[in-house]
Amino acid sequence: MPDLSDRHIFIIPVQDKFLLHAPLLKLSALVNRSAAGAIRAALASGAAAENADSRLQPLLDVLRQPPLLPPAPNGAEISPAFLGIVTTRACNSACVYCDFGAPGASGRAMDLQTAVAAVDWYARLLKQQEKELLEIHFFGGEPMTAPAVVETVVHRARLVAARERLTPYFEISTNGLCGPALLAFLGDYVNRVVLSFDGREDIQNLHRPLRGGRGSYPGVFAAAQYLSDSPAQLVIRCCVSQINVDIMEDTARWFCETFNPSLINFEIMQPVESAAAAGLYPPDPYEFAANFIKARRAAESFGIKTVYAADLSTEPVYTSCPVGSDTVIVSPDGRISSCYLLPEKWQEVGLDLALGEMRGRRELAINPAAVQNIRAMVTNKPRCEKCFCRWSCAGGCHVGNTYPGCSADYSDYCRQTRIISACSLLDELNLPEMADTLIDDREALPALACRESDRLMEWEV
């Protein structure tokens, strides 16, 4: 259990004002320097409210409440946020920045019996835990290159859900290049289709060529059009490099005008060798954050939301990724872990995210000690302790960003996350125009993004 005392109250400079942010008390406010100083002094001395400006009294009353920690998965038994099925590591595309082990990956698809065993295990667990939502996410490689696995899981889950009175929910991350019949299947059965689509033709073909160098744009465009009119929720996942960072706003507008997405998700490109060889690099974090906010405004004008995975969350969390929320991800070879990356990726940074394995082809064997270790790992993030995003971003990707022994200094990912989160706080306070000014202020941004500690009580007034 982290020692919180008053360390959960943060102060963030926003040009000449300050954001007071206490996520565990669900309080945020914009204050000026003297108010921030008075609040700090009153909290430090435990002074009677009368000593401070009486207008600050309501804030002080809340800030003196004990913080409410978010509910964490607990108990000896695993309680998955969802079941992930990696149908295959193979892919029919050749995205230059792929980090999922697809290039050169074996084409082996998950055995159908393994897939059924995973669904049955999950349904049994939900019944035991008196839960209702049978939530299954498909990953790859490209999951639709193993369509029989997807069809089997969907139909088995629906059959079991009907029998056990559970509610099935399916999500898939796909490149959409699976042809009209399988797209129709996704449209009819999958609740949320996350389509990898990086923008207009030149960008899409540069970032995500097909094998042999042909462009993937026509296929993905057709998929986005089809899914726009289908019952499935279309989420466009757009990957941003230094090449498309300054056209994010235009890209968001184009997505909204051309398709019917329910969400647009912008993520930065991972710095992998193959991308560097193609001249592609992650974007500058300041540029990314500023353009993300501009893209958000553009999409908002169409009533469409943009998301960034580590952005401010509505509730405080211990982790913003599947790892740490007991998620169970089954790989094609029957290995069970909490992250969908290949084990080599997490082992490289000294992490063990394995949860267990299939016993034979019919039983999932989860190691309870592994569950506890992963739960503990996500709460131990030295870099994040003093960061105001610690209860929303909460470390971001545990493999790529805040692995054990990583630098205590903020990464580019941290800097962009801190800017985006501060802008989201301003939006929540109904001050979007302040966020819009902030992102163009090249002095204020580093002051916010690089600040070593956001803790109010460590602030030197």
Interface contacts to ligand SF4, rule CB under 6 A: 310, 321-323, 339-341, 381, 383-384, 387, 389-390, 393-402, 410, 414, 417-418
Nearer to ligand SF4 by C-beta: 160 or 399?
Answer: 399
Element (H, E) at 27: strand 27-31
Q: Looking only at residues 205 through 234 of this chain, which bind other proteins when binding is defined by CB under 8 A?
A: 231
For residues 164, 165, 166 and 167, what is the CA-based torsion angle, rounded to 10 degrees?
140
- When asked if residue 385 is in the footprint of other proteins (CB under 8 A), the reply is no
Instruction: Work out what residue 280 binds among other proteins, ligand SF4, none; the CB cut-off runs from 5 to 8 Å by kind.
Output: none
Contact residue for other proteins among 4, 133, 162, 450 (CB under 8 A) = 162
CA distance 23 to 5: 14
Reduce the secondary structure of 145-195 to three states and give it as a string: HCHHHHHHHHHHHHHHHHHHCCEEEEEEEECCCCCHHHHHHHHHHCCEEEE
**Residue 167 CB neighbours (<10 A):** 11
Instruction: Work out what residue 152 binds among ligand SF4, other proteins, none; the CB cut-off runs from 5 to 8 Å by kind.
Output: other proteins
Instruction: Please state the closest distance from residue 229 (CB atom) to other proteins, in A.
Output: 15
Instruction: Please state the closest distance from residue 32 (CB atom) to other proteins, in A.
Output: 54
Instruction: Please state the closest distance from residue 447 (CB atom) to other proteins, in A.
Output: 53
Instruction: Please state the closest distance from residue 181 (CB atom) to ligand SF4, in A.
Output: 30
For residue 248, give the DSSP letter: H
- When asked if residue 148 is in the footprint of other proteins (CB under 8 A), the reply is yes
Residues 437/15, Cβ–Cβ less than 8 Å: yes
Instruction: Please state the closest distance from residue 45 (CB atom) to ligand SF4, in A.
Output: 29
Instruction: Please state the closest distance from residue 180 (CB atom) to other proteins, in A.
Output: 10
Backbone angles phi, psi at 149, to 5 degrees: -70, -45
Instruction: Work out what residue 246 binds among ligand SF4, other proteins, none; the CB cut-off runs from 5 to 8 Å by kind.
Output: none
For residue 325, give the DSSP letter: T
Instruction: Please state the closest distance from residue 143 (CB atom) to other proteins, in A.
Output: 16
Element (H, E) at 447: helix 444-449
Contact residue for other proteins among 4, 184, 365, 447 (CB under 8 A) = 184
CA distance 258 to 36: 46
Site string for other proteins, 304-343 (x = CB under 8 A): ----------------------------------------
Beta bridge partners of 329: 84, 337
Residues 22/62, Cβ–Cβ less than 8 Å: yes
Instruction: Work out what residue 417 binds among other proteins, ligand SF4, none; the CB cut-off runs from 5 to 8 Å by kind.
Output: ligand SF4
- When asked if residue 112 is in the footprint of other proteins (CB under 8 A), the reply is yes
Extract the tokens encoding 133: 């939502």
Backbone angles phi, psi at 96, to 5 degrees: -70, -20
Instruction: Please state the closest distance from residue 86 (CB atom) to other proteins, in A.
Output: 17
Residues 179/186, Cβ–Cβ less than 8 Å: no
For residue 242, give the DSSP letter: T
Instruction: Please state the closest distance from residue 188 (CB atom) to other proteins, in A.
Output: 4
Helices (H), 324-443: 343-348, 368-379, 412-428, 432-438
- When asked if residue 151 is in the footprint of other proteins (CB under 8 A), the reply is yes
Extract the tokens encoding 22: 């206490």
Nearer to other proteins by C-beta: 96 or 166?
Answer: 166
- When asked if residue 155 is in the footprint of other proteins (CB under 8 A), the reply is yes
Nearer to ligand SF4 by C-beta: 264 or 342?
Answer: 342
What residues make contact with other proteins under the rule CB under 8 A? 112-113, 115-116, 148, 151-152, 155-156, 158-159, 162, 181, 184-185, 188-189, 231
